[in-house]
Each structure stands twice: as structure tokens, then as C-alpha cells.
Amino acid sequence: MLTQHIVGKAGDGRKGVGPLIPPLSDTMRPLRQQVFERVRSAGLIPRVQVAKDLGVSPASVTTITSDLIEAGLIDEVAAPRDGESVRGRPAVALGVRAAAHRVAGMKISDREHTAVIVDFAGNLIADDAIPRRPGPMTLPELLDAVETLLDRVCAKAGILRADLSAVGLGVPGFVDSLDGVVLWSSVLVDRAVPLSARAAQRLGLPVWIDNDANLVALAELWFGVGRGLSDFVVVTIEHGVGMGVVLNHRIYRGAQRLGLELGHTKVQLDGALCRCGQRGCLEAYVADYALAREATTALNWGHKEGQSIGVLLESLYDHAKAGNATARSIFRRAGRFLAVGLSNVVNLFDPSLIILSGERMRFDYLYATETLAEMENLVINTGRPRPPIEIHAWGDLLWAHGAAALALSAVSEGLLAANREIAAQ
């Protein structure tokens, strides 16, 4: 099953953000955190409903929410019931105090850098984007770009950099989010870069980093269709091929926080050279630089050397749409390799949904009917239906929204931990 799904902007009013975890399904976290997250995900919710959803006494919820109100993390909102007269006392609901904190989310990419600023309730305040020159950057160059973009988006939001509580930052490559280290990235010259610490030093703010594909999954988990799913997979196809996996409403990163690198699984021994330095990786057959390489060779486009990958791909797509058999065969070959990768994802994780996301989703030959049919043939035949596949066209700001969710999560968990320690004294 394939669904074309266009996602709107995140954080619309009081509709809530964050995972919609079913009641009583996750009791390992402190009750204070469960209460706050229930309010945040609901947007607006009465105390009695929080108590019912979490299976605790109304008195416990009242005590905790009073502490959270006093700490400035949530507030009370008059919310008249349906059909209620304007006279009399309106019902009171709880909601996240949107003005309590603001965070920035940023994506550093091979094509352009994007940024958003959202409030504590996840509402979008401002966004911006700047183009970048091709090729990897030195760390000082990357930090210059981050600082420039952050100041620009802050100016659009009408706030100072110091008004932010944290920054979330996404980059492609192998990222240890816990240690804040980028072990390798296509946008950096050096390896093993302590990006989180260096960016925090430059910006004067806490900075949390993660692999960009994880941030797409986080954006879906916080703002998209993944909110109500316990398990799903996001596969991103742009300059590289990435994957983010959500298990039990949480991003799964692996024991060393470096797992789920679908683009660097091997699909052909001693095959095409990948930008990671190894051969036969999936992305060496599916990513934009792979398609451009094939087009230059198969279509004898040596005279187009020097043109950007984006221009080459648009030309290749136009030729395919016009019926050029060679152009179509290039997309067809890439689609077959993508089918191999997706079938392996299904066989390994059995997700409830696979989301294909990224710039390359404009090129529908990659996920044509015959490609998905090939995937069906490669998936283990259990007699049960295959997981649906959706194409999500959020646009470039999707990645930045995921980075903002990363920052929001870090800020709220830090505040709740501090609030819990104070309450215990």
C-alpha cells in the first residue's frame, strides 16, 4: 500500500505535540514526567482526564500539576464545554505554557541549511534557510554558518539569541548524540568532531546534536503521523540514504548510538564507491550523487561536467518523463536497489508503517509500482499484509523541526528533573 501524504507545518495552536502514548502503556518514567507529557501531547486536557488516562488518583494529579504550574511549565486555560452557556464558571483545562521557553532547530546539509524557532508548546515562531557551497566544510566554517543562520532566524522571530533555552542541530553521517561527537559526516572535513561542545561554546547556548535521519523520525513522532504509532520507520533519500527507527514511541539509536545506517548496508560486494569510503553501499546506488554519476556515464553527459547535482537530476528526470529509455533505466535500477533495502527493513523490524521522505521523493520513478512490487517479492512471505508505505513531502524544514523536537525534549526533561529534585528536598 502506497499513500501520498503531504504534511503541514508543525505545532498548530493547542493541538498538542509529542508522542501519543496509550494510557497505562509506559509506567517506567516518573509520574511527574508522564503528567507533563500527557498535557503536552493533548494540547488541552482537564485534570480529571489526565488522572483517568494515567490510572492514578485525581489528588496525585492535582498535586503534580500544581507544582508544574508553580514552576511555570504548564498553565490553566478556560475551556467551555460543548453547548455550555457563557454564564457560569467555564471548565478549566491544562496546557503547556508556550511562552516558558523557546528553542531553535537547525539542519546542516549538503544543499542548504535550514532553521526554525518554536515555543515550549511546539508552535512555529519563525523559519529561515541559507544556501551553502558544495563540498565538506572545516569546523570553523560550519560554526560560522550555524551562527549566521541562528542570528538570522532569531531576528525574524524578534528575539535575541539569549532568549533561547537550547539549540537542536542535525547533520548527516555517523553521530553519537549522547557524547555530542560527529564521527564522520559528508559536511565536515574532519572526523571525530566534538560538535556539540564546540557549537555550545560558539553560541553560548546548550546544543544537542543527532543524525539528520533520526531527526526526521523525531519530527514525525512529535508533529506527524508517527505521534500515534508505537513503531515505525523513516527512510530518507537525498544526498545520502538514511533511516530513523521508532520503537515503543522512542527513537532507537543502538548500543553506541550509531546504528540504523541503512544507506551503508551492503547490497553488492566490491560494488560502486560510496562517499563513506567503502564499496557496495545502498546509497551508492540510490542517492542523488549515484544517479548523477550514472546519468553522466550512460547518457554521455561529459559536457555537463561542472553542473550541480540538482541540475543534472532535474535533466535526468525530464528525459525519463519524456520517454528516454536510458534515463528510465537509471531510475529503475536505483528503484530495484531501494526495494532491496526496504524489504530488509521489513524483514528486520516488521514496522507498522514505512515513511519515505526527502528531496528525492519528487522523482516518483524511485517508488514506482514495479519497484514496490519487487519489494513485495523480496519480503518474507508470512501470509500477512505488508506494512503500508507513505511518501511525506514536508519540505526542507522538516529536518529543522526534528532538531527543534530534540531540543524541546532535552529542555523539558532537564526542567522536570530539576523540579523533581526541588520537590524532594
Question: Which residues are identified as catalytic?
Answer: 212
Q: List the one residue out of 311, 335, 312, 315 whose CA is nearest residue 324.
A: 315
d(C-alpha 85, C-alpha 310), whole Å: 58
| Separation of CA 362 from chain center | 19
What are the contacts of 11-16 at 24+ separation with CB within 8 A? 11/118, 11/119, 11/121, 11/122, 11/123, 11/124, 11/223, 12/123, 13/43, 13/123, 14/43, 14/44, 14/77, 14/95, 14/121, 15/43, 16/40, 16/41, 16/42, 16/43, 16/44, 16/122
d(C-alpha 102, C-alpha 97), whole Å: 11
Contact in structure between 410 and 418 (CB atoms under 8 Å) = no
Residues 6+ apart with CB under 8 A from 79: 44, 46, 90, 91, 92, 93
Contact in structure between 157 and 117 (CB atoms under 8 Å) = yes
Helix (H, G, I), strand (E, B) or coil at 384: coil
